[in-house]
């Protein structure tokens, strides 16, 4: 099967939607799947641009709450502090992403060995953090201070290495900073909005000359698939992690990364 077909775009879009908001690294999954399927696209734009579907999914699910926060900004100090906290948490990844864009896209994105190793390492980190006897001090994301958010944002910047996972780094950072599992996952949702939107806009601008009509058609297909899959994940993730934690995702990362290493060892790249 040629992955530059509609079917290939649908498969990668579904993978993006299912993995974007869980701590398994959507980038790693779609890059490895794309390599396995023979998917080639200039500048790796497809993998970034279909994130728009996941962005709109979380906007759709959280639309009511977003409107409430926006409407209360003039009168509610808590809402204003929360918005500042999200912006402050976004800045580290934004700055590092802009400065290191070329290395990230041309070197790190092209290294399946690095991706697999990052998946495995991140899996063990998730298992370790999930078993820690932590005493959460923050359970309401509206109470997160800008300083707490900034420290969480530093963890998110680690996810510029493909395989680390944006949501995974954010969640681990949040837990180590004293949040509970549910608020850690929920804050990662809100932080995803400016982070993914910024990455989408910057990558589209950087690669505007590489995106032709055929590429846009594939992106549109992947976007729709990612949107539908992401809505399902966002609606169910918070309840899942509240009950079961993150161990399942840690084992999944180790399985996928280990399988990838075996394939690379046997077949090379």
Q: How distant, in Å, are the alpha carbons of 146, 195, 225 from that of 18? A: 30, 18, 10
pLDDT of res. 72? 93
Q: pLDDT tens-digit profile of 238-252? A: 889 888 889 999 999
Whether 125 and 63 have beta carbons less than 8 Å apart is answered as no
Phi-psi region of 144 (alpha: psi -120 to 50; beta: other; left: phi over 0): beta
pLDDT of res. 117? 94
Q: pLDDT tens-digit profile of 3-42? A: 457 888 888 899 999 998 899 998 888 888 887 777 666 5
Q: Which residue has the tokens 């992947």?
A: 222
Q: Which residue has the tokens 């991706």?
A: 115
Per-residue pLDDT of the chain (269 residues; tens, 9 = 90+): 344 578 888 888 999 999 988 999 988 888 888 877 776 665 567 777 788 888 899 999 999 999 999 999 999 999 999 999 999 999 999 999 889 888 887 788 878 899 999 999 999 999 999 998 888 999 999 999 999 999 999 999 999 998 999 999 999 999 999 999 999 999 999 999 999 888 888 877 777 776 666 677 788 888 899 999 999 998 898 889 888 889 999 999 999 999 999 988 887 65
Domains in the chain: boundaries: 6-267
Supply the pTM of this predicted model.
0.86
DSSP assignment of the chain: --TTSHHHHHHHHHHHHHHTTTTT-HHHHHHHHHHHHT---GGGHHHHHTHHHHHHHHHHHTHHHHHHHHHHTTT-HHHHHHHHHHHHHHHHHHHHHHHTHHHHHHTGGG-HHHHHHHHHHHHHHHHHHHHS----SB--GGG--HHHHHHHHHHHHGGGSTTS-HHHHHHHHHHHTTB-HHHHHHHHHHHHHHHHHHHHHHHHHHTTTT--HHHHHHHHHHHHHHHHHHHHHHHHHHHHHHHHTTHHHHHHHHHHHHHHHHHHHHH--
């Amino acid at each position: 099967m040629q992955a530059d077909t509609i079917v290939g775009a649908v498969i990668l879009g579904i993978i993006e939607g299912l993995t974007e908001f869980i701590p398994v690294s959507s980038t790693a999954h779609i890059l490895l799947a794309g390599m396995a399927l023979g998917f080639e696209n200039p500048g790796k734009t497809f993998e970034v641009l279909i994130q728009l579907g996941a962005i709109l999914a979380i906007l759709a699910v959280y639309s009511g709450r977003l409107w409430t926060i926006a409407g209360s900004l003039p009168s509610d100090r808590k809402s204003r502090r929360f918005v500042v906290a999200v912006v402050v948490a976004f800045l580290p990844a934004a700055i590092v992403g802009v400065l290191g864009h070329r290395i990230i896209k041309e070197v790190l994105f092209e290294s399946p060995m690095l991706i697999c190793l990052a998946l495995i390492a991140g899996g063990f980190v998730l298992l370790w953090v999930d078993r820690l006897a932590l005493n959460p001090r923050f359970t309401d994301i509206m109470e997160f201070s800008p300083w707490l958010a900034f420290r969480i944002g530093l963890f998110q910047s680690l996810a510029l290495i493909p395989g680390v996972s944006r949501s995974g780094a954010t969640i681990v950072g949040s837990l180590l900073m004293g949040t509970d599992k549910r608020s850690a996952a929920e804050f990662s949702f809100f932080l995803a909005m400016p982070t993914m939107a910024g990455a989408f806009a910057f990558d589209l601008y950087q690669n505007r000359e590489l995106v032709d009509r055929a590429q846009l058609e594939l992106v549109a297909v992947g976007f729709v698939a990612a949107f539908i899959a992401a809505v399902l994940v966002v609606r169910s993730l918070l309840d899942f992690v509240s009950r079961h934690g993150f161990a399942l995702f840690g084992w999944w990362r180790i399985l996928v990364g280990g399988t990838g290493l075996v394939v690379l060892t046997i077949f090379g790249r």
